[in-house]
Chains A and B, each alone.
Chain A
Amino acid sequence: MQFGLNESQEILKQNARQFFGGECPMTHVRHLAENKQPYDPALWSKMAAQGYMGIIFPEKYDGLGLGTVELILLMEEAGRALLPGPFWSTVAVAGGVIDAVASDAQKMRYLAPICRGEARSTLALLETGATWDLADVKLSVSGGKLSGEKLFVLDADVADFILVAAKSGVFLVEARAPGLSITPMPALDLTRNFYAVQFKDTPAEKLGTRTNLARALDIATSALVAEMAGGMQRVLDLTVDYAKMRKQFGKPIGTFQAVQHKCADMYLETESSRSAAYYAAWALEHDAPDAATATSIAKMYASDACRSVGNRGIQIHGGNGFAWENDIHLYYRRAKASETMLGDATFHRERIARLVVDSVSTAGCSNDRSSR
C-alpha cells in the first residue's frame, strides 16, 4: 500500500504549480475579477497546450488518458492559484458528464473540442428549488425542445454548449440555439460567475440517460474538493507568512499561542481535506465500493473546512484581512461558492447517512449506492 504520489504524479503537480504561478499570478486574477472578465482566452490556450483540458479523457478524443488522481492534482494547483473561469465546469463537470453519458459520435463532436481547448462548456443542474438532489430535477423535454429555467449555472456565458440535466436524461444545447437566454446572477465569488439560463422551445440534443450522471458528478465533486484544498493551502501560507512578519507588542504575532493554535487548526483541516480528496479520487478511479461515500465525506469535510480556514485566516490578518486590497477575500469568496456547489456539508452528511446508516439500520430497504 502506498498513499503517496508516484514520480510522474509529483512532476505533474510541480509543473502545474509552476505553470499557474507563472501564467496566473494574483495580479492577473485580480485584474480579471475587477474588470469583470470571466476568463482569459490566452491563458486558456496555454493550458490546452499543456494538455490540461483533456487530462482525464481518452486519447481517441485528443485527451491525455490519465486518471482521476491526476485530475485532482491539477485542480489542487488551480485552486491554489485561484484560477478564474470555466476550467472546472468545462473539464471536471461537462467533459466528465459527456464522457459518462454520451455516444461515441457525440464525444467526437463535443468532447474532442474540449480536449483541444477549442470549446468551453458547463452543466445546468439547479432549478428554482436550488437543491442538489438529482431527484428534484423537474425540467422536461418534449419533442426535442426545452422550455424552462435553470439557475446557478457556472460560466454559462462563455460556454460554447451547455449540458442540461432534465428529467428524462442529459441534453445538450448550443450557445446560439434559438430561445436560449443567459442572464448574470451576480454573487460573492468574483472569479467564477453564476448565470440564469432560460429556454423557450430551445432545441436540445439528447446525450444519454442519467444512469451514469451520479458517478460523473462524484468525479467532479472530488476535483472540486481538491481545488478547495489548494485554496486552503494558499490561505494557510498567506496567513503563516503574515503571522511571521506582522509585529505587535514588539514580537511577531505568530509567537502567540492564540495565533499559533489557529494556524495549527488550519493546517490540520487543510491536510485532512487533501487526504480526503486524494482518497476519493483513488476510490473513484478504481471503482472502489466506498467511492460514493468517500466522495461525500470529502465534500462534507472540505465544505466546513474551507469556510473555517478562511475565517481563521482573515481573523489572523486582522484589519488587513478585511481590506479589499488583500487577496485573502478573493479566496474567501471562492470558498463560500465552493462550499455550496454540488452540495454543502449538510447535504453530504445526509447522503452519507443514506449510504452507511440506512444500509444497516433499515435492513431490507436497499439503497442505490450511487444515489445523489
Chain B
Amino acid sequence: MDLNLTSEETQFRDELRSWLTANVPTDWAERREESLESRFEYLRTWQRKLFEGGWAGVSWPKQYGGRGANLMQQVIFWQEMALASAPPMANTLGLGLIGPTIIAFGTETQKTRYLAKILSAEEIWCQGFSEPNAGSDLASLQTEARLDGGSYLVNGLKTWNSYGWVANWCELVVRTDPNVPKHKGLTVLLVDMKSPGINVRPLRQITGESEFAEVSFRDVRVPIENIVGNVNQGWDVAIGTLMHERGTFGAGLQITFRRNMERLIELAGQLQRNGKSVAQDPLIRQKLAQCYAEIEIMRWNQMRAFSRISATGVPGPEGSIQKIFWSELNQRLQQVAQELLGPYGQLEAVSPHSVDKGTWAYGYLRSRGNTIEAGTSEIQRNIIGHFVLGLPRSY
C-alpha cells in the first residue's frame, strides 16, 4: 500500500497541470445564460484546444491518436481537469464511450473513418440505447433493423439521448432478430444523424434545460458496413460501452463534490442565524461533517477500486457501489446546501438575490437524475446482489 504518487505519476500530473494553467478558459462559468448552441460551440473549441495539446482521448492507445495513459494517469487527468475548473469536453460520449467501443470492436476501416474526428470534436456522437419502454431492461428494446438489399432499414424510437440534438453520429442498438431470446437478437450500428427518416426532438428536463433528446427512426437506411462487432452480438458491444461508463471519470466528480463542500463550509461561516454563525449551529455542523466524510470515503473507495482494476485489468461488478455512493451522496449534499441556505437556496441565476448564480437551486434539481442516469440505484443494487454476492437472479 502506497498512496503517494509515483515519480512518473507526479511528472504526468505536473505536465498536465502546467498545460491546464496556461490553457483553461476562465469564462465558462459566466456562460450559464447563453443558448445551448452557443455554449456547445464554446465546448467544441475547448476540446479542439485539448486535442491540439495532445490531451483529448488520454486513455486511447497512441496508434489511434490518444495518449495511451494508464489507469492512474487517467484518474489524475480527471482530477486535474476538475481542480482546474476546466469545462467539460464537447464530445463526452464519443471520447468516453463510443471511441473506446470502436477501438475494441470496430473494423480497421471504421477506426480510420471515425476515431480522429471524435478526438477533434469535428463529429459529435450520441448513444441510441434507451427507449420509452426499455430503460433498466435495456435488452427488451424494440427498435428494429431489417436487412433490405445492402443496407438495414431502421424503425423505432430512442429516448434520453444525451447530445442527441447536436450529434452527427449515433451508436445505435437495434433488434435484428426478434425470434431469439432478447439478449441474442441485438446489433450495434453506427448511424449518420443526417440520414433521411431521423427526427430529433429535444426533451425538456426537470431543470428546464434540454440535455437530452428523443430520436425517432422511420425507414432509416444504414449500410451494413456500419455494424460494430457481429450481427446479433450487439449485447456484448453495448455492455462493453456501458462498462466504460463506470470508468475513471468519477475521480473528477469527487473533486467537484469536494469543491462544492468547501464552498458550503465557506457559506456556513458567512451566514448568520439566531444571532450566530451557521457554522456554529450544532446540527448544521453534524450535517456538514457527515457530507465531508462521505466525500472523502468516496475518494478512498475509488482509490481502492482503481488500484484493483490496475492490478487485474478489468472493471468488475463491484464498481456498482461507486455509482450508488456518488449519486446518493450528491443528493444528500444538495439537500444540506438547501438547509444551509434556507429560501436563498431556491433562487435561480436571474434573481439579483441568488447565491452562487443559482448553482444550488440547479444542483438540487439536477441531482435527482443522478440515481437514475447511467443505471438506476435499483439496477446497481441488483448487480451487487447477483454478480457480487451471488444471490439468485430476481428477474
* Chain A residues close to B by CB (< 8 Å): 1-6, 9, 69, 240, 243-244, 251-252, 254-257, 259-261, 263-265, 267-268, 271-272, 275-276, 278-279, 282, 286, 293-294, 296-297, 300-301, 346, 348-350, 352-353, 356-358, 360-362
Contacts and interface: CB of A to CB of B under 8 A. Distances in A.
Nearest to A4: B307
A255 B389 CA distance: 12
A356 B288 CA distance: 9
Contact of A349 (B285, B301, B307, B380): B285
A301 B297 contact: yes
Given A1-B303, A349-B293, A267 B268 contact: no
B80 to A, nearest CB: 14
Which residue, A3, A6, A282, A286, has most C-beta atoms of chain B within 10 A?
Answer: A3
Contacts of A275: 297, 300-301, 303-304
A282 B321 contact: no
Contact of B297 (A9, A276, A361): A276
Nearest to A297: B293
A2 B265 contact: no
A264 B384 contact: yes
Interface of B: 1-6, 9, 72, 262, 265-266, 268-270, 277, 279, 282, 285-286, 288-290, 292-294, 296-297, 300-301, 303-304, 306-308, 310-311, 318, 320-321, 324-325, 378, 380-382, 384-386, 388-394
B392 A4 contact: no
B386 A260 contact: yes
Given A1-B6, A1-B9, A3-B303, A268 B1 contact: no
Contacts of B311: 4
Contacts of A346: 286
A35 B47 CA distance: 70
A64 B301 CA distance: 29
B1 A69 contact: yes
A357 B289 CA distance: 8
A14 to B, nearest CB: 16
Contacts of A357: 265, 268-269, 279, 285, 288-289, 292
Nearest to A283: B3
B3 A255 contact: no
**What is the interface of chain A mostly: helix, strand, loop, or mixed?**
helix
Nearest to B380: A264
A27 B282 CA distance: 45
Nearest to B384: A264
A317 to B, nearest CB: 15
Given A9-B1, A264-B320, 5 more contacts: A3-B300, A4-B304, A251-B392, A268-B325, A271-B321
23 contacts: A3-B300, A3-B304, A4-B307, A4-B308, A240-B389, A251-B392, A252-B392, A260-B382, A260-B385, A260-B389, A261-B378, A261-B385, A263-B389, A271-B304, A278-B304, A279-B303, A294-B296, A300-B289, A356-B265, A357-B269, A360-B265, A361-B265, A362-B269
B321 A6 contact: no
B327 to A, nearest CB: 12
B394 A256 contact: yes
A272 B328 CA distance: 14
Nearest to A277: B300
Contacts of A353: 285-286, 288-289
A266 to B, nearest CB: 9
A10 to B, nearest CB: 11
B20 to A, nearest CB: 20
Contact of B290 (A1, A260, A293, A349): A349
